[in-house]
Structure 1
Amino acid sequence: MSRLELRHVRKAFGGLDVLADISLSVGAGEFVSILGPSGAGKSTLFQLLTGAEHGEGEMLFDGARLDDHGRHFAFMPQRDALMPWRRILDNATLGLEVQGIRRKAARARVAPLFAEFGLAGFERHFPAQLSGGMRQRAALLRTVVQERDMLLLDEPFGALDALTRTAMQRWLEQMWRHHRWTALLITHDVREAVFLSDRIYVLSARPARIVREIEVPLPRPRSLGGDAARQASALEAEILDIILNPNPSKGHDHD
């Protein structure tokens, strides 16, 4: 059974159709990406999942209607959204504190993860003292420590420079293999989607429809060289062609 399933989800703002007909699923322990051009409505879809907006269609979690959005999802936005006046340790505990967990207990839960996230020794630093990549790792730590059923990642590396972004993608893929989080990523970076994902849903331009569902058959751990890299490049070229030359009438094609 899919953990998350969307059936014919639609959303309009006033007279503007943003999401036309979105049906997709994410299985337990699966890393799925939603890929599409800028302005296609990818972030709007996350707003529906988190309950910030409401649309039409069905949204199911573990086979039941999705009502209690906050109970299932931990959301990581495009920017790290770290509070500059709080030290990294206290930024990492923020989501737990919002849940009503006392600060001492929240710190005890977060502290053992700093080494795993490459942040050991930086617990007492402020966000301005960290590099962009370290700030994003801190933001992801704050997200996953909430122990929700599913991670929603909204272009988490989009603001980073190219080299840091590549390093963070490799780090996230390694962390995902270790923890096997159930994750849904939205991105406009084709290479990122191919490198991280088990499956990719490709959206059309607004009003968004899914024009293709693509399996990513690359072995894990993902490699930046050799045969796997050549396979990845071919898949990236195929996806770019789909985005630049969409054919919505095909609906869901399974590769």
Structure 2
Amino acid sequence: MSAPRLELRQLRKRFDGLDVLADISLTVRPGEFVSILGPSGCGKSTIFKLLTGALQTDGGEVLFDGTPLEDGRRPFAFMPQRDALMPWRRIIDNTTLGLEVQGLSRSQAREKVAPLFAEFGLDGFERHYPAQLSGGMRQRAALLRTVVQQRDMLLLDEPFSALDALTRAGMQRWLQAMWERHRWTALLITHDVREAVFLSDRIYVLTERPARVLDEITVSLPHPRTDLASPEASAIEARLLQTLLNPQP
């Protein structure tokens, strides 16, 4: 088994004297797709804010490739819940934004992004504005903007939660196919049990606030996953729901 790419050791966070995260420990190995599942408001997104440097920890340790994650070292590409596309920039210029922040000129960034539009189902829409795209296409553009930065790991914060059920299901299948092709190392936050089973190699279940790891479940179903009605998939869903609805101290 390979060494973890990301390792959280007893991570803690408080806000105004209120414990939000309590001794969170988890790992993500290279090329693995791991999900964090838990009740709304339990602190899932706080973990990402700590990883991206938006917040500072109150205890514990974050290791990346076996060494502490120091200030200024952020090997993550982050995709938030909403697509966060800038309405006044065309899609080509929205997808280059992360590269421009890294110091590339607009022309250099466009040259790097342009060959990926067909793979992401956006060919022909480069000069459209976000308002002219469907919700699913906007999310694909947001993911393209994320992965083109070529960071070591993807952080996906409920990226499909704002979509309708049919579009969300289609995007989940598309993301699975893209992950199969590229084998990104990815950490997903979700409150959708079926989404976690469909996409993940492993799932961490958190308690209500202050969040602790309640269970770690390995999803040993083969990829690609097309039959979530199978007895094996149903058993994993049932275990997750049982853990969430009837947590044991």
| TM bucket normalised to smaller | over 0.9
| SS of aligned partner of 1:2 | coil
| SS of aligned partner of 1:28 | coil
Alignment of 1:179-218 (within 5 A): 179-218=182-221
Correspondence for 2:52 = 50
Q: What do residues 63-86 of structure 1 show as CA deviations (whole Å, max 9, x unaligned)? A: 000015554000000000000000
Residues 81-90 or 61-70, more deviating? 61-70
Q: Distance in 2 between matches of 1:225 and 1:77?
A: 26
For the 8 Å contact 1:158–1:165, the answer to whether it is kept is yes
2:67 counterpart letter in structure 1: A
Please say if 1:15 is aligned against 2:17: yes
Q: TM-score, normalised by structure 1?
A: 0.94
Instruction: List runs of 5+ in structure 2 lacking aligned partners.
Output: none
Q: Distance in 2 between matches of 1:46 and 1:163?
A: 27
| SS of aligned partner of 2:194 | helix
Q: Distance in 2 between matches of 1:214 and 1:69?
A: 32
Q: Distance in 1 between matches of 2:8 and 2:154?
A: 16
For the 8 Å contact 1:4–1:60, the answer to whether it is kept is yes
Correspondence for 2:237 = 236
Q: Distance in 2 between matches of 1:88 and 1:40?
A: 34
Aligned residues: 246
2:103 counterpart letter in structure 1: G
For the 8 Å contact 1:49–1:69, the answer to whether it is kept is no
Q: Distance in 1 between matches of 2:74 and 2:22?
A: 27
Q: Distance in 2 between matches of 1:174 and 1:230?
A: 23
Please say if 1:39 is aligned against 2:57: no
The alpha-carbon distance between structure 1 residues 123 and 51, as it changes in their structure 2 partners (threshold 3 A), is same
Correspondence for 1:145 = 148
| SS of aligned partner of 1:141 | helix
Structure 1 vs Structure 2 CA RMSD: 1.0
The alpha-carbon distance between structure 1 residues 225 and 17, as it changes in their structure 2 partners (threshold 3 A), is closer
Q: Distance in 1 between matches of 2:126 and 2:49?
A: 31
Q: CA deviation at 1:19?
A: 0.3
Correspondence for 2:122 = 119
2:198 counterpart letter in structure 1: F
Q: CA deviation at 1:230?
A: 3.1
The alpha-carbon distance between structure 1 residues 204 and 225, as it changes in their structure 2 partners (threshold 3 A), is closer
State which of 54, 79, 83 in structure 2 corresponds to 1:80.
83
Instruction: List runs of 5+ in structure 1 lacking aligned partners.
Output: 249-255
Q: CA deviation at 1:62?
A: 0.3
| SS of aligned partner of 2:151 | coil
State which of 206, 209, 225 in structure 2 corresponds to 1:222.
225
| SS of aligned partner of 2:212 | strand
Q: Distance in 2 between matches of 1:36 and 1:225?
A: 20
Report runs of 4+ in structure 1 exceeding 2 Å deviation: 68-71
Q: Distance in 1 between matches of 2:117 and 2:211?
A: 39
